[in-house]
Structure 1
């Protein structure tokens, strides 16, 4: 921001209008509650007792309450109900289509949507069938949209299972047909990313992109392994990098070796504030390290993680940061550009979205914003 201009603290309406980029958003964590109800009825899946007394409204309450446990493991249990209703190609297509429709409604212009194909084969679909159905849903939504959005898949392997090499090969097979990269997810404790070195070595040989869930519920060792052993391009969450940063009483800040490496190498942090509070990674939004990490110019990005479980959206996440840290439109634009720079998309396409969509979108909200984005 130029020295002559005053910071613009955005209103909620301005935040909703702002172009957004999301890199960490789970397909099976972003269903509409009404869709869960309808799909559960179609496939005969039994939802939790008392969760449907008031229809979709009470089901939404159940998901948010069950996920708001302070435990990543308990948080992950809620996915049993979304995964159960996504076992057919029509269900996957519907969920994928509605997912993109909801992103469009929230002002998202670029999204990488992740999910684990291995979780959706219980009724006979092949891994290839799963990816194809999701892509069809995305394509339907994009084709019907009144404004532009670019959506890509990230294929996730579950870190407590042994199919990571197979999923990595699937990601490479589909990388010119809608898949942008690879991920591993699941409970970190006891499931280090180094268990999947074969998959990561394969991806590097194939010049493929991958991110790793690390530094969410587990600390610095998980981040270190993801980067220095596995070679991750981005950190899924990475919030525990704060454990390697010391703030003295006088306000001076000292970065440990790992934190300094992450900042120096501009390694993107896929931070998910609302989710981090729910899983106990941080105590509150006001205490979330994202404020300090942004001030220290780490490559911070803002994400939703699971919109159903956290009852959130990109607009809600950004508004919470405006309220907690006084973020301005310049701050929101910075993290949006950060995310677009960090996307698993070819450079020329990233640059086009930054110059032709993101920057003009923020300039329409505040013409005084200069072009310098650090």
Structure 2
């Protein structure tokens, strides 16, 4: 079957994944209000295109001083061997070939060094662990492995209540493990009405603080990016703390149910941080090249894309993930040109309007 949009790949992935694994990937927390709101908020935003412009430029962008083929990176997603036997290795190869950064997750099911060895532009996503030394050891391992940035997720002091996983009594199969540290068997222990993955993270994770951010910054020469920022006040404090990037995100609707969609805060944060030379990224709900254009127009340097890449991985392994990234490239090039822009920087000067229901 020919896939002509990301929705096609979503349907194909859902058809091949077992129900509880699909729920683990697709679900949000609570009543999934924030999960749905991410898409609804993006769909309410409209771009004001410009006409009679010279076109035919590039869709490339610069992220942390290096070229990316698109203004995007693959978002961190845990346990990718749930979706395909090659897991993170296949997804990282697809990102390498597409010319976009790939973010290795603390909870990857392949050791971070093996993923980084694929090449391309690896970033490393950090969860703050109860043992600070283990957290900082992961940072050092990522830097030694050639990662280019530390994406510090700050919105998971513990895992949100994901009702699909609770109803399914979700646990990892024996063949899928947290490969970057010895996590015991907590994530594999199936109990009715419990998520073994949530039980595992409750045991391993600790709430991060601004002192945690300073500890990470002091431990690495790499840019530190805070993922999970929504409040303008937190964004300004992050800049004052010397971070190299911010990801505006409600964790894909998987943490606080009722948290505002990132796209609704992006413009205000971008305006407040005007003149800052760090990277401002958006995460959550991106489902096509037109969504990337909207994020750029509202002030983002680029976006993170997570679930859709996993759809491609599930549907066809490395080739499926590559097809997904190729499709995003085609869609973004089309959207950029139809908006009258010959570059990503030109898209930052586009106007937008929000359509209010009723």
Fold shared per TM-score above 0.5: no
Higher relative contact order, structure no. (Cα contacts within 8 Å, ≥ 6 residues apart) = 2
TM-score bracket for this pair, using the shorter chain length: 0.3 to 0.5
TM-score (norm 2): 0.44
Please state which structure has a larger fraction of its residues in helix: 1
